Structure 1
């Protein structure tokens, strides 16, 4: 897999749970089928929106096996493999490559904030442990750690497989421009934060986005329109969905928001979220669907899937 192959829309796959909190295999299969139906360019597993910080090792293995079985090589898979420490990240990264990851998305070590030397050692150890592309995940809101642009550039010069950055440090647009200008083509940039600045990121040179997974068709269409040079249409579509996208970034509730929409569309059978995430209440649920009035995302306009058969 080459660096240039990683572009487009790579939704972060939610982890469907049963109403009692176990991984729901059939809902997960249906969720993957929904992404493929939306013609996504790839799928990302074990991101923050996957509740990856709550998953047991055996659950990661189960999820990886199910997703691979459903995708069957149709699109690339990116596995999140960041950890609180170097040894854990190296272990997860090696496992991810052996489990079928085409690329890795790696948070810096969180919990204890690393200095520049520790951060460089951490990412360097991962880069030396695998031979697939690595995307540095700059997500300070979620992790509490920001990756300086100078560190991104240094790492990309030192390790040939550090090829991408997912910029989630607001305002993402400013940092994307900095990375684009300073990396001299060594780093491709993806946007994050649920796509809240998606259109502007594309205008600044981002090659893709990794949003949540309940509106993949909309993200794909925006990307297609933009690449076709139909920027006015891409901008109009993006701004029509922006109130909905914004609700999917509410701290503590974002994961539940994504799942409520997937549940309403019959993609998953339960909107259960694991602690420390909080479920939505009746008021927030109303706000979610009020933001979709007059809009027609695929999730609410598709035929029932196999889990209802």
Structure 2
């Protein structure tokens, strides 16, 4: 197995997917990335995820991944666990990427299925098993058919959890997420924990179904932390009320083709990052969509829109 043997950190709660800030020249903006990590930590997140779909991971070069990991590990300094996305279009690529992630500082891996040629059940099982057996890290299966085109069957998840010790959780992003979460928990007989995704669009209902956290985009972490903490304290009314107030904003951050730009425009508006540049194939926002996104935040007072003043 690759990667140093180290104490495993519990992954639960609010674990946002870090955006990748680019300058207007399209290159990684390292200063903005450092500021983004500081913002997340100030918001009280329970962990951070790198190289997810909301990171525009599918546009990143190998050297860029390496530099992003270096910067994030340096800024976090072990204060929260780091989850690295290490899915690939093929088994060998996923194994290689996962081994690199283990060396680069990941505390856990989030593994997307192959997303070019769609695998059958036998090849999907071999893919996840090979990744898990290649590293000494907890593995989170990412069931995100809207992004990958591949739905991971619940019986296969349960089989993998029985047979491979370090396959320990699932990020369920297959609508309706709540129904599938219940099936995962039931069929895995407690071996798998579940996280929500899809930018938190069913966050409250997922918590009610037994999810231990969420992995949304990264511009509203303080609001997610408030929802999570209220729920865990037993105040479901407060958790539900805040979630429903956030829902219009969450929803607008799921618009296909424009979601990455929504996340970044909000981060830019508060001074967390310098540019909202997104890489092809993502599209920038037009003025009406930008206005609509910001209007949904008017009554929420999120940390992101106070960040410039908070750090002045």
TM over 0.5: yes
SS at match of 2:307: coil
In structure 2, what is the equivalent of residue 102 of structure 1? 107
> Equivalent residues in 2 for 1:96-135 (5 A)?
96-135=101-140
Q: What whole-Å deviation, never above 9, does each CA across 1:87-114 have from its counterpart, x for those lacking one? A: 0000000000000000000001111000
C-alpha distance in 2 between matches for 1:294 and 1:5: 34
Equivalent in 277, 290, 294 of residue 282 of structure 2: 277
In structure 2, what is the equivalent of residue 287 of structure 1? 292
In structure 1, what is the equivalent of residue 231 of structure 2? 226
SS at match of 1:5: coil
C-alpha distance in 1 between matches for 2:147 and 2:219: 20
> Equivalent residues in 2 for 1:121-160 (5 A)?
121-160=126-165
C-alpha distance in 2 between matches for 1:143 and 1:2: 32
In structure 1, what is the equivalent of residue 189 of structure 2? 184
- C-alpha spacing 1:264/1:53, structure 2 compared with 1 (3 Å): same
> Equivalent residues in 2 for 1:1-309 (5 A)?
5-304=10-309
SS at match of 2:36: helix
Deviation of the 1:5 alpha carbon: 1.3
Tell me if the contact between 1:217 and 1:297 (Cα under 8 Å) persists in the aligned partners: yes
**TM-score using structure 2 length:** 0.96
Tell me if the contact between 1:267 and 1:305 (Cα under 8 Å) persists in the aligned partners: no
Tell me if the contact between 2:267 and 2:304 (Cα under 8 Å) persists in the aligned partners: yes
SS at match of 1:137: strand
Tell me if the contact between 1:134 and 1:163 (Cα under 8 Å) persists in the aligned partners: yes
C-alpha distance in 2 between matches for 1:175 and 1:31: 32
Deviation of the 1:293 alpha carbon: 2.0
Any stretches of 5+ residues in structure 1 without a counterpart? none
Deviation of the 1:304 alpha carbon: 4.9
Tell me if the contact between 1:30 and 1:305 (Cα under 8 Å) persists in the aligned partners: no
Give the CA RMSD over aligned residues.
1.3
C-alpha distance in 2 between matches for 1:82 and 1:60: 13
Any stretches of 5+ residues in structure 2 without a counterpart? 1-5
SS at match of 1:17: coil
C-alpha distance in 2 between matches for 1:148 and 1:212: 25
C-alpha distance in 1 between matches for 2:8 and 2:238: 28
C-alpha distance in 1 between matches for 2:98 and 2:289: 37
SS at match of 2:246: helix
**TM-score using structure 1 length:** 0.97
- C-alpha spacing 1:135/1:3, structure 2 compared with 1 (3 Å): farther
Moved >6 Å (runs of 4+): 1-4
